[in-house]
Amino acid sequence: MRKVLLSLAFLGTMAMLQLNAGEQFAMSDADRAMYTEMLENNPAEIYVEEGGEILEEALGGEEALAKFLEVSEKDLPKYIAGFPRYIKKLGNVVGIDQVLQVMQVEQGKKKTKLKSGKMFSMLAYVKSLANDELINIDVEADEHIKASYALGKTTYLTARGGRGLSCNSCHSADIVGQVLRTQPLPDLGEVAVAGTWPAYRMTKSSLRTPQRRFQGCMKNALLKVIPIGSKEMIALEVYIATLAKEKGKKIAIPGLKR
Ligand code: HEC
């Protein structure tokens, strides 16, 4: 703990204080008012809607997606709540965005880039189909997801970069709630990362995906940025999804974040 705090101190002026439980992040009164308003009317809803339209027009909507995934339309929401998954015909543990890309290729269409706004919208829409479902990732389902979980855990725990920090340096149970440069360190299970991203990020005024958010922390903490869609990145998503599953969290897309 002490060592962690010392290395964090290099990151700049840091005020340590304990916050009231339930307080997710520090904001000015004006920002808090805006947050409350946006909770009622999340600006990302429009992207989710747009994502649904693109999916429908470009790929044949939920029906085509369910068929591709070999599940019934009725079971699709529950199935989506378990991603990332090992998909046999893709031969890999993948995210929903990669499934959509393979569908595009199968239908002879141009692949939408994983990093594009269009893909973020489609991903948000598909994940929103699972709203109110419990996060149900099963890391024991097969050897591939088991391996991905193990890689994700290692990636999460391994200190990297100039400051020797890992994700866990800032997000471990014994440090969460403390404040780094005015921002409380969140427990990634408690804030249900796997259930709330894609989210509207107020500070970026845009829809962001979980992997994009992970990259934000990597940049800030000077960890080498892992590419979106890479094996390590998916593994990290797998590991972080288990943190929310353990806390019995549900899917609620789009999230709203600072
Ligand atoms: C130097 C400390 C630090 C490190 C290292 C760090 N984070 Fe963070 N992280 C933060 C802080 C502070 C916030 C809250 C910032 C905010 O609210 O804007 C945060 C927020 C997040 C969130 C958003 C949580 C939410 O509200 O949904 C995710 C996801 C996240 N981090 C993932 C990671 C991952 C993955 C790593 C490792 C690659 C990592 N972080 C490494 C400090 C860190």
Give CA separation, 44 vs 5, 50, 188, in Å: 35, 10, 21
Q: Which residue has the higher pLDDT, 2 or 196?
A: 196
* CB contact at 8 A, 130 and 69: no
170 C-alpha to center of ligand 1: Å? 7
Share of the chain above pLDDT 90, in %: 75
What is d(CA 148, CA 240) in angstroms, rounded to the nearest whole number? 12
pLDDT digits (tens, 9 = 90+) for 172-213: 988 777 777 777 789 999 999 999 999 999 989 999 999 999
**Nearest atom of ligand 1 to the alpha carbon of 25:** 17
pLDDT score, position 24: 53
What is d(CA 143, CA 138) in angstroms, rounded to the nearest whole number? 11
* CB contact at 8 A, 83 and 138: no
* CB contact at 8 A, 59 and 104: yes
Write out residues with Cβ below 6 Å of ligand 1.
8, 11, 25, 165, 167, 169-171, 180, 183, 185-186, 188, 191, 193, 196, 213-214, 217-218, 221, 223, 236, 257-258
pLDDT digits (tens, 9 = 90+) for 157-172: 999 988 999 999 999 9
* CB contact at 8 A, 250 and 192: yes
Domains annotated for the chain, with CATH where assigned, are 2-38+138-257 (1.10.760.10), 45-128 (1.10.760)
pLDDT digits (tens, 9 = 90+) for 89-147: 999 999 999 999 999 999 999 999 999 999 999 999 999 999 999 999 999 999 999 99
**pTM to 2 decimal places:** 0.89
- Mean pLDDT in the chain? 89
Lowest mean pLDDT among 4-8, 86-90, 210-214: 4-8
* CB contact at 8 A, 213 and 156: no
Residue 208 phi, psi (nearest 5): -125, 145
